[in-house]
Structure 1
Amino acid sequence: MTYNYFLIGQIIIGSLLGVSISWKVILCCINLLLFIDCRVVLICVWLEGLQRFDSNWWIWITQFQLEKDEEKNWIHI
């Protein structure tokens, strides 16, 4: 669904621009609470700038988000 494309976009943008751990934590918390517009994440990532990042950490958060999203869908059904 739309949210899955949103997550894929996060991985691509995060890997291209580089995201610091502090922003990863903030984005993760926001994403777990709200399904926000992708443009908000793009702005946050852009403001953080080009930095080194831990791709495994980013993928782990994304996987956690996918699992949480699946749980929500299951509960609503």
Structure 2
Amino acid sequence: MSQMHYFFRHPVAEKVREEGRIEDRAEMTLRTLEWRGLVVPEGLRERVLACTDAAQLTIWAERAVHVTEADGILLDSPA
């Protein structure tokens, strides 16, 4: 039992969890655009899925709710 607790506090486990959260945020951003009926160009899809910056993905996810075209999530975006 103690080995299990150790694993979940291990830096490798935390890195895996963070990568999963980032991946989920990217996928949800794309799903939001698609649910809204917006066409997501392949280049945009690749860029969102390749992003590893959680803060940037949060900005894109928030924009996905309001934009009129999928590429609009990138406006004023440094990444």
TM-score (norm 1): 0.36
TM-score (norm 2): 0.36
Q: Which has the higher contact order (CA 8 A, sep 6+)?
A: 1
